[in-house]
Amino acid sequence: MNTVKKRKPNEHLDAASAQSEIIARDHLELRVLLSTLTREKWLVFGPLIFAMVGLGIYFSIAPRYYSATAQILIDIQKPRIIRSEAVVPSLDTTRYMIDPVIDSQVEIIRSNRIAERVIKRAKLSEDPDYQPKTTFLGSIRALPDRLFGGGAPETSDASSQKDAENVLQSTIIAAFLRNLDVRRKGLTLILFVHFTDKRPARAAEIANAVVEAYLDDQREQKFKSARLANDLLQARVAELRDQVLAAEVKLQQYREKNNLITIGDRTVDEQEITASITQLIAARTNAANKLAELQQIEKMPKGSVDFNSISQVLNSGVIRDLRLQESAIMRTLASTASKFGENDNRVEISRAELRNLQKDISDEITRIIENAQHDFDVAQAQVRILEKNLAQLRKNSTLGSRLSIELAELEREAKSTRDLYLNLLSRLKETLVQESLLYPDARVVERAVKPRIPSSPKKFMLLGFALMGSLGIGVTVALVKDHLSNVVRTPRELEKLLGTVHVTPLPMVQKREPALYKVAVDQPDSQFAQAIFSISRSLWPRRNTSRSKCVVAVTSVLDGEGKTTTAMNLANYSATLNTPTLLIDCDFRTSGMSAYFPASKEQLTLADLLQGKATTNEVIEQIGESDLHICRAPKPGSVMHPMELLSSDQMQQFIKRLRRKYQLIILDTSALLPSVDARALIDFADSCVFVVEAGETTEEQVLQARRVAGKLADKTAMVVLNKSEMEY
């Protein structure tokens, strides 16, 4: 019995959650990649801008070249005007030879021979574009020879001039071949002949000249081959003509010497024997036929009148005419008897005519039967005579058999020589005709026309390469830089590094804001305000569960990471909720928070309190009518040893007294790595907000700050990534 295994409900949930996690991870990686490229946009687009500027300069100064194209078809199916083998063989177009043949034609077009033809025809040796130009490097290389008289040994003027002309010609050919490009169109038999020049009309002219030079070269080569073949054939034909004459003279002399008369290819005796044999065969056949007819007649009973089956009777014209007359009389007799009766005189007359006619038929048949024996005797006599004549002819022909054998040998020799001579003579006449009908193995499909668009520089191709290459370089450099920088950029990296849940990223706030300390209150709909609300909401359960847990230390790894701005906005937002809030500036080295709140010259600071120079009420001041109170830090540099004051018992007692009055106390501490002041304050706090600047703080600095803080891991309520990609 088959049983179906049921899945547990959790299995479906696990699969769905795993798939969702994979999709979310892919989306996150894509967002991280896009974020990195956006952040390094100048590094990404810098090479592109540089490449575009360079291309613009290049396009403005680079000379324009134009390419004209002519098309040639390698003709492998040429018409045959004369149905004989060509004296100059055409291209081998078998299945396995087409590609090598096409490649060979390409190399022929690019050969120096074709180049010299075109240069001479187009007068390129007078064109300054193809003249050798002295380069700076060439001048430097030739300088020692000019100064010290080195170089090639002296030669005669004629030799030097010839060498100079050869060098000039080689230079022009090299320049010409650099501008010539011959390519095959796919797997077809068509060749593209491209030529590039600064002048479009000149490019088309030279491309067509290359095609014409190639076709002329093929015609000349074929003509030379045909002329050479004709010369060889003429010499061989003359030699064979002499041999034929000698063989025929020898054959005729032999016949005259031995009195051998031939008619056609055979002697008279041979022809007589052949004719006699033919006649004998015919005579024997005739005698056999006569004997068969005679035997047929003899087998018939005597007195029989049924001789109609005999072939001679059937073939006799007389019998046939008499039978026709008999039929006519019988019809007349029947007609007369039916009209006038059987006893009428006319009926009797017709009957008498019928009897006479039948008697004539019987007499003619009797005569034919009597002639059959005579014909048989004549046929036998003819056979005997022919046999006797044939025997006599054979006897006579045996005497000349030996001479006939020698004669046949001479005739065969003469015939073979004559046949060879006639074949070569016919071939010679055909080659003379073919020599005037030679045509190349290629034809022009399309002539080159004047190009309208320059082929170089190839703007679109260069722009595409520059675009892809520069963007590729920019993206690669940006990704490599991001990988090597090892800085914290995303909340996910920060959570993975510290093992603490990240609440929300803090977007960047412009420093030009006049009231930076209360942006979250003045602009509640901004992203920065929403991030502060999230931080406050994360701290709110801690303040409600126990009034003893209301001291929050706000610190960072380095100075300038936004801890003071975070602390001020967090305190302002808490005060708007009717929560007694105290913001204490514990950063004696920078006093960043105190600079945002104007104060009188006589205002006492936290340092005065810890030194016993002021009371609690004297150092705490209320901001307007709100529930926000602050405690200022002294001016930077006014306290020699801030650590001793911040870690003193007075500081601990001061915080204990404040717990009874304020529901939330925020300590704006100094950064962890530059100084050790924040370590003591973390011990006094119930929780800690750890601010890290995105894109500036490295992972090593974050881990080092965590190790330095000691109890930071136990008291960190949240980690905040400041100055993320979201910009306020």
Task: Encode pLDDT of 436-476 as tens digits.
Answer: 666 677 888 999 999 988 888 888 888 888 889 888 898 88
* Cβ atoms within 10 Å of 269's Cβ, excluding its own: 20
**Domain 489-727 is of which CATH architecture?**
3-Layer(aba) Sandwich (3.40)
- Decide which of 120 and 695 is more confident: 120
Cβ atoms of residues 109 and 182 within 8 Å: yes
Q: What is the pLDDT of residue 192?
A: 93
In sign, the C-alpha dihedral spanning 228, 230, 235, 239 is positive
Q: What is the mean pLDDT of residues 654-680?
A: 87
Residue with tokens 């006492």: 604
The whole-number average pLDDT for the span 413-439 is 78
What confidence score (pLDDT) does residue 437 get? 60
Q: Report d(CA 378, CA 187) in Å as an integer.
A: 84
pLDDT tens-digit profile of 580-636? 899 999 988 888 888 788 777 678 888 889 888 899 888 998 888 888 999 988 888
Asked whether residue 683 carries a pLDDT value surpassing 50, the answer given is yes
Scanning the structure block, which residue is given the tokens 């299995």? 11
pLDDT (average), residues 254-277:
70
More confident residue, 337 or 266: 337
pLDDT band at 31, cuts 50/70/90?
confident
8 A C-beta contact, residue 246 and residue 458: no
Of 5-14, 172-181, 536-545, 652-661, which gets the smallest average pLDDT?
5-14
Please give the pLDDT value at position 6.
45
Q: What is the pLDDT of residue 545?
A: 46
CA 195, CA 190: separation in Å to the nearest integer? 16
The CATH number of the domain covering residues in 66-145+158-227+441-446: 3.30.1890
Distance between CA atoms of residues 117 and 139, nearest Å = 32
User: Which one-letter amino acid corresponds to residue 715?
Assistant: K
Task: Please state the rounded mean pLDDT for residues 385-412.
Answer: 73
Listed ranges 112-121, 231-240, 332-341, 545-554; the one with the highest mean pLDDT: 112-121
Lowest-confidence pick of 25-34, 47-56, 326-335, 527-536: 25-34
pLDDT band at 144 (very low <50, low <70, confident <90, very high): low
pLDDT > 90 fraction of the chain, expressed in percent and rounded: 9
Non-local (6+) Cβ contacts of 78 within 8 A are 90, 439, 441
Q: Per-residue confidence at 398, pLDDT binned at 50, 70, 90? A: low
Mean pLDDT of 318-325: 74
What stretch(es) of the chain map to CATH 3.40.50.300?
A: 489-727
Cα dihedral across residues 521, 525, 528, 530: positive or negative = positive
pLDDT of residue 629: 92
Residue-wise pLDDT tens digits, 514-565: 577 678 887 887 888 888 888 888 776 544 444 445 789 998 888 888 888 8
What CA–CA distance (Å, rounded) separates 563 from 488? 16
CA distance 647 to 637: 18
pLDDT for the residue numbered 112 = 92
Top-ranked range on mean pLDDT: pick from 133-142, 386-395, 553-562? 553-562
Higher pLDDT pick, 402 / 202:
202
Bridge partner residues of 722 (DSSP):
506, 693
pLDDT for res 81: 46
pLDDT band with cut points at 50, 70 and 90 for residue 134: low
**Confidence bin at 303 (pLDDT 50/70/90):** very low
pLDDT computed for residue 118 by the predictor: 92
The DSSP result for 174-233, as a single string, is: HHHHHHEEEEE-TTSSEEEEEEEESSHHHHHHHHHHHHHHHHHHHHHHHHHHHHHHHHHH
pTM, entire model:
0.49
The dihedral built from the CA positions of residue 485, 488, 491 and 495, taken in this order, carries a sign that is positive
**Across the chain, what does the average pLDDT equal?**
78
Query: Which residue spans of the chain are classified as CATH 3.30.1890?
Result: 66-145+158-227+441-446
Q: What percent of the chain has pLDDT over 70?
A: 76
